[in-house]
Amino acid sequence: MRTALVLLFLLAVAAIPGSLLPQRSLSQSNVSQYFRDHPTLAPVLDRLFLFGVFSSPWFAAIYLLLFISLIGCVLPRAAEHARNLLSPPPAAPRHLQRLPESTELAAGLPPAATLDVVEEELRVRRFRVVRREGRTGAELSAEKGYLRETGNLLFHLSLLALLLGLAGGKLWGYEGSILVTEGGGFCNSLQQYDTYSAGPLVSQRDLTPLCVDLTDFQAEYEENATAASFTADIGYGLAGAATRNTTIGVNHPLRVDGDRVYVTGHGFSPTFSVTLPDGTAFTDVSAPFLPTDTATMASEGALKLPDLGAGATDQLALQGFFAPTGLLQGSVLVSTDPRPLNPQVAIFVYRGYLGLDSGLPQSVYSLDQTQIDRDRLTKVATANLSVGESTTLDDGTVVTFSGYKEFAALQLSHDPGQGWVLAAAISLLAGLLGMLLVRRERVFARVGPGPDGGGTVLSIGSLTRGSADTGPRFTALTDQVRTALADRADRTSEPDVAAPSARGGAPEKEIPSS
Amino acid sequence: MIDPSLAALSDNLFTVSVVLYSLAVVAFCAELAFGNRPARSRELVAAGAGAPPAEQPGAGLVDGEPAESPRARRLGAVAMVLTVLGVVSHAAVLVTRGMAADRLPWGNMYEFATAVVLVAVVAYTVLALRAPVLRHIGAFVLGPVVLSMVLIGLFLYASAGPLVAALRSWWLGVHVTTAILGFGIFFVSGIASVLYLLRSRYEQKAAEGQAPSSSLLARLPSAAALDRTAHRTAVFGFPIWTFAVIAGAIWAESAWGRFWGWDPKETWAFIAWVVYAAYLHARTTAGWRGRPSAWVNVVGLTVMVFNLLYVNMVSTGLHSYAGVS
Ligand code: HEM
């Protein structure tokens, strides 16, 4: 138990750097920023897995050790508890006065009758009672509150189950994210996602062939521009099967057979039309621009048009800034509202070689800076445009800002462990309540001869687990016993009553009273 | 959508509550200053309460009330009345705010922290009414309460407004309400442990005959009673906190796409949970009873406060609904 606690504590301490340092799992760009800010320190931290604490080998090691030590202490305890449930309460300790609560009462009854009274009081209180013949006289042991230990075991077993569920989810779970513009869609395949993470035991064949199409996305705002709701109308279905329509949104994912589809963000894809000097027109081409400020939805991005002209050096690209509600401050375009009240773009137009087939991966949201640095991609125009406005390039090509579409950031998640974890968490809570609310009480009593040879001395002691406030309860018990003893003594002392009655079903034992 | 007059009323009630609590602190301090010494009456009471267990000196203090001068008792009653009035006004702060914005009044950090402090004061009031001896920790509970309220008013204030989309869920009522309850109860528990640490050292010195009986500490409840209060409140708060964390995970599953992602707020909620579990264990572990376990409880409260302040205001994570700019 000590080991398990130390390990649990270690797990908590190990989690601290994970919350203070940027983590790759949460934000790759924050990690990159940290590398730029701390060029000497960052590589050292990186070697210690401090930018991926929760998937590091040492975190896993603590987790595994905790798991093993929990098994090591819970299983023997469960066996012992089962034995306890079947066996009677333990024998009374030799010295009752050493128990946390104890007292002695003088009784005017024979020893067996005295214990009868005690037993009756305890049975009324739902104790399990046994009587034994001890070395110094008859004695009684009673116990109640077995549910406490049951709750304790349930708690610790649930903790085990929870750890198992978490681990299972990590091994067989995956999630992928993708930006989908209205009218577009995706199918559940790791290659399609913009980013994904998958457990080591996930193979492409395990992925449900679910396809999702985004028909419409709406963002609603209060008057003060607080986001009120984001909803996406989608069609979905297994590949080849019929498509069904539904609406998903924040707090309302799509759930189908263990897969869930979420809206995790949104943004705008400005659309442009490009007309070449020879009259060839490309209408409404668009690319998602990523929001850089969610309060105003000011966004940045790039639209790459590699297939316009004849050669690889006639490629065109627009890079720039989109403002749903644009305002020119001097010559700088800013956004003042997240709603598309007055969409405007500020773009740089580049012509040349984009380097898309150079073999090096590049971001879809920005141009390849190395091509610009090598003068293979040159800026040919700069323009601030409202919807419908255009700019004409030096060769007569016309670029028109034709409008915008909205895109949704969708995430598909699959975690086979999560139902298991939920069940474990609920039973953990139930066990915790049993463990904390139920008191386990043991009461022991022994009878002996009175000091002057007359009457009986009853010693009672109790041992309670789970409540510090045992004094008043023990006092209440002994007061009841004292009253009951006095009552019984009055009745038995009447001459006509021959033998003490055995109310409460206690076995009668012949103990000579001295 | 926002009712400006109700919002203004809420803000005014906040000030009223701070004033009432401050007056209560003054009355509690006066009670301590004029009270006679419970330390003296201890033996008397303990002797009357049957055989006191050897390891709990002064345990009788909670059950039997120590003799008190009438003046002190009157001051104590005044302080309690001021506290209860403060609670009423404090609760009204949240009610009017909820009505002004037509939603549950814990959608940003200002409202959350205000509600946590309310729970703490209510928890203290319930304790003090059930065991009058615990009234004597009033100054030490309401002092931090006033300080917290002033800091909340100065640094966390956010005007009444609608909820952001992510918070418009039934789970706000479940997750945040239980987190507030747990936090408020741990607040009182932590203070009881701090007082226990002070008082137990005082009792040690007193046993060696070198403690000034005029010390304020002489008027606190016994160390045993404080320790018991800290433990009982923590036992009460722990399942609530556990539930809050579980409810948070269930909400995160539908709001953020996964039930647990080691977001900073989640991480620190877990750390706090472990620390409180360790506290409950320490109380029943030989060698950790008493002062060491009380320190664990203090660490627990520190973690809770850190989670509220640092994680909301310094780090960035999914829980960034603080509304503090
Ligand atoms: C691995 C073996 C562990 C064993 C054998 C064990 C055993 C126990 C025992 C005997 C108690 C009851 C104390 C009492 O009766 O008053 C208890 C309580 C508790 N345990 Fe564990 N424990 C273990 C690990 C853990 C872990 C890893 C946690 C994680 C949080 C934990 C959390 C708790 C809590 C919160 C309590 C309630 C304390 C109380 O009774 O007030 N235990 N445990």
Domains, in order of start, for chain A: 2-83 (no CATH), 88-145+439-492 (3.30.160.110), 174-414 (no CATH)
List b or e across B68-77, with b for residues whose CB sees 16 or more CB atoms inside 10 angstroms.
Answer: beeebbebbe
Q: Which site among B259, B283, B288, B295 would you substitute to test the A interface, given the most A Cβ atoms closer than 10 Å to its Cβ?
A: B259
pLDDT at B178 over 60: yes
Ligand 1 centroid from CA A221, angstroms: 48
Per-residue confidence (pLDDT) for residue A210, from 0 to 100: 92
Contact (CB, 8 A) for A354 and A367: yes
For residue A296, give every residue at least 6 positions away whose Cβ sits within 8 Å of its Cβ, in sequence order, or none: A323, A324, A325, A334, A335, A336, A337, A338
Q: Report the distance separating Cα B122 and Cα B142, nearest Å.
A: 11
Q: pLDDT tens, A66-98?
A: 889 989 988 998 899 899 888 888 888 888 888
Distances (CA, A) of B252 to A287, A490, B153, B175: 30, 68, 29, 10
Considering only CB atoms, A228 lies closest to which of B165, B277, B317, namely B165
A354's tokens = 């984009």
Distances (CA, A) of B310 to A276, B55, B121, B265, B317: 56, 40, 24, 10, 11
Question: Packing angle between helix B177-207 and helix B291-313, nearest 10 degrees?
Answer: 140
Q: What percent of chain B has pLDDT over 70?
A: 86
pLDDT at B201 over 80: yes
Contact (CB, 8 A) for A270 and A401: yes
pLDDT at A428 over 80: yes
Q: Is the CB of A428 under 6 A from ligand 1?
A: no
Q: Is the CB of A435 under 6 A from ligand 1?
A: yes
Domain boundaries, given as residue ranges, for chain B: 4-313
Q: Report the distance separating Cα B298 and Cα A446, nearest Å.
A: 43
Residue nearest to atom 9 of ligand 1 (CA): A152
Q: Is the CB of B281 under 6 A from ligand 1?
A: yes
Mean of pLDDT over chain B: 85
Q: Which residue has the tokens 């033998």?
A: A499
Per-residue confidence (pLDDT) for residue A511, from 0 to 100: 40
Considering only CB atoms, A222 lies closest to which of B1, B63, B311, namely B1
Segment 98-127 of chain A within 8 Å of chain B by CB: 100-103
Report the pLDDT averaged over residues A475-487. 90
Nearest-neighbour CA in chain A from B85: distance (Å): 31
Per-residue confidence (pLDDT) for residue A1, from 0 to 100: 67
Q: Do B168 and A411 touch (CB under 8 A)?
A: no
Q: Is A429 on the interface with B (CB under 8 A)?
A: yes
> pTM for the full model?
0.84
Nearest-neighbour CA in chain A from B152: distance (Å): 23
Residue nearest to atom 25 of ligand 1 (CA): A5
Q: What is the phi/psi pair of residue A144, to 5°?
A: -150, 170
Q: Report the distance separating Cα B165 and Cα B103, nearest Å.
A: 13
pLDDT at B152 over 90: yes
Q: Is A26 on the interface with B (CB under 8 A)?
A: yes
Q: Do A18 and B267 touch (CB under 8 A)?
A: yes
Interface ipTM: 0.80
Q: Is the CB of A305 under 6 A from ligand 1?
A: no
Q: Is the CB of A75 under 6 A from ligand 1?
A: no
Q: Is A29 on the interface with B (CB under 8 A)?
A: no
Per-residue confidence (pLDDT) for residue A468, from 0 to 100: 59
Distances (CA, A) of B57 to B128, B213, B234, B276: 21, 17, 22, 26
Ligand 1 atom at shortest distance from the alpha carbon of A70: 1
The strand ranges marked E within B37-166 are none
Q: Is A469 on the interface with B (CB under 8 A)?
A: yes
